[in-house]
Amino acid sequence: MPEMIRGHNYMRVDPTTLRRINRSQYKTMSVEAAERGIRKLIGVSLTRYQFSALVSFLISVGAKEFRKSEVYKLTVKGQFLLAAERFSDYRIGTDGKEDKELMRRREYERRLYTHPVIVTNTGKTGGVE
């Protein structure tokens, strides 16, 4: 089973379902639901990399926070480079402190949003298909 970064913890998850904790309550959003949400909310053409980054971001922050985010607002305006720089706004954990795992996830999403080639944690590059 794949290991995904979820909020401030690593969590083993089923590939079709990602879970996140919000104030001690579990909320579940399937990847399919997140994909439908992005298709519905975003009225501009996206690359597959931008789409994937936004799905990851939506699953991580939740639909309500996503719709309030500058990432979303700038994306729908077609201001992609500005939107990419706003992923890092969401790096604070539930304890109110900057979280290294969230920082890592936001950087991954930013890179995915802006580039089709990702530098992995090992420093090797790999294409995203």
Per-residue model confidence as pLDDT tens digits over 63-82 = 999 999 999 999 999 999 99
Per-residue model confidence as pLDDT tens digits over 78-122 = 999 999 999 999 988 888 888 899 999 999 999 999 976 444 555
CATH code where residue 105 lies: 1.10.530.40
Using an 8 Å Cβ cutoff, are 34 and 58 in contact?
yes
Q: For residue 50, which of 120, 115, 127, 106 has the smallest C-alpha distance?
A: 115
Domain limits for position 123: 3-127
Q: Into how many domains does the chain fold? A: 1
The residue-averaged pLDDT of 19-26 equals 37
User: What is the predicted pLDDT for the residue at 12?
Assistant: 36
